[in-house]
């Protein structure tokens, strides 16, 4: 949510959906529980959200998928299901996002009655962009044109729906960004695609300064403009959000686990006896 709010404040983006994609069981990380449990916990965590969904595709594959492959899967799926042209950060498309017959009337279906030079008021993008592209690629949205002004995105100008380009960005903590600097850990061709073609939104984490990290990698330096670092203005820094801290709190019976997890997830973990050590 904070990453979305920050992207809106930049005036460059309107976030219409978030995808949580749990990793495949064969990823092999120590302490990784079955994807069956991880999918359920993620679904419980976002059940009250109207814009974040959990995608099981990565878990259902025959083996572990690279981050690059997962991003490409979602990009291809959005193209196929929505008919949209997805923007490449280096070579933005000049083709309308939703194809329209050129002789079709441009009459607005939703029209903002206010002067467009005043503070923008939302004429919902295709009903929140086809209800957030029908929950991120479940149903193909209709093809009508809509006038769009979003009061939260700080765009300041009217845009038509067919002028909006979709992009998929990787959201991660600065600790993952730092792993890009470890020689041999990431395939360099994949890094070029992830940072160069998609782009990254980075949430700062304890002890991992994004600016310092970017200066230690030639690829990150090369595509620095494609890396957006979320600035946290709240009294509760995002750096405290940690799955590792959550597991440790559960193992030690620490009541502060409620600082990291919502109650339905805690209830599921206790019911399923996850992350409980021998002395637990």
User: According to the model, what pLDDT value does residue 238 have?
Assistant: 61
Task: Give the list of residues 6+ apart from residue 135 with CB closer than 8 angstroms, or none.
Answer: 17, 53
Mean per-residue pLDDT, 183-201: 94
- Which residue in 124, 235, 242, 220 sits closest to 173, CA to CA? 242
Domains of the chain, first to last: 1-86+162-240 (3.40.50.620)
Mean per-residue pLDDT, 18-29: 93
- Look at 110-114, 197-201, 252-256 and tell me which has the smallest mean pLDDT: 110-114
Which phi and psi (to 5°) does residue 153 adopt?
-90, -10
pLDDT of 26 higher than 80: yes
Q: Is 156 exposed, middle or buried (0-12, 13-18, 19+ CB in 10 A)?
A: exposed
Measured CA to CA, the distance from residue 274 to residue 34 in angstroms comes to 10
Mean per-residue pLDDT, 46-51: 91
User: According to the model, what pLDDT value does residue 234 have?
Assistant: 54
């Amino acid at each position: 949510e904070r990453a979305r709010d920050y992207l809106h404040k930049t005036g460059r983006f309107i976030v219409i959906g978030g995808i949580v994609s749990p990793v495949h069981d064969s990823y092999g990380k120590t302490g990784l529980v079955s994807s069956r449990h991880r999918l359920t916990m993620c679904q419980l965590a976002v059940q009250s959200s109207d814009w974040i969904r959990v995608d099981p595709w990565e878990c259902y594959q025959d083996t572990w998928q690279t981050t690059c492959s997962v991003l490409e899967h979602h990009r291809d799926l959005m193209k196929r299901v929505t008919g949209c042209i997805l923007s490449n950060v280096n070579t933005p498309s000049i083709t309308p996002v939703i194809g329209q017959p050129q002789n079709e009337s441009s009459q607005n279906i939703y029209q903002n009655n206010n002067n467009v030079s005043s503070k923008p008021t939302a004429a919902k993008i295709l009903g929140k962009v086809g209800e957030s592209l029908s929950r991120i690629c479940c149903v193909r949205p209709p093809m009508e044109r809509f006038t769009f002004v979003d009061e939260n995105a700080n765009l300041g100008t009217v845009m038509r729906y067919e002028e909006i380009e979709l992009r998929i960005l990787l959201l991660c903590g600065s600790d993952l960004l730092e792993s890009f600097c470890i020689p041999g850990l990431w395939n360099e061709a994949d890094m070029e695609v992830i940072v160069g073609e998609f782009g990254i939104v980075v949430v700062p984490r304890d002890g991992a300064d994004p600016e310092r990290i970017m200066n230690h990698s030639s690829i990150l330096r090369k595509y620095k403009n494609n890396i957006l670092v979320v600035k946290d203005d709240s009294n509760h820094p995002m750096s405290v959000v940690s799955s590792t801290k959550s597991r440790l709190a559960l193992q030690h019976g620490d009541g502060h686990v409620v600082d990291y997890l919502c109650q339905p997830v805690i209830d599921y973990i206790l019911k399923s006896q996850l992350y409980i050590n021998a002395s637990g």
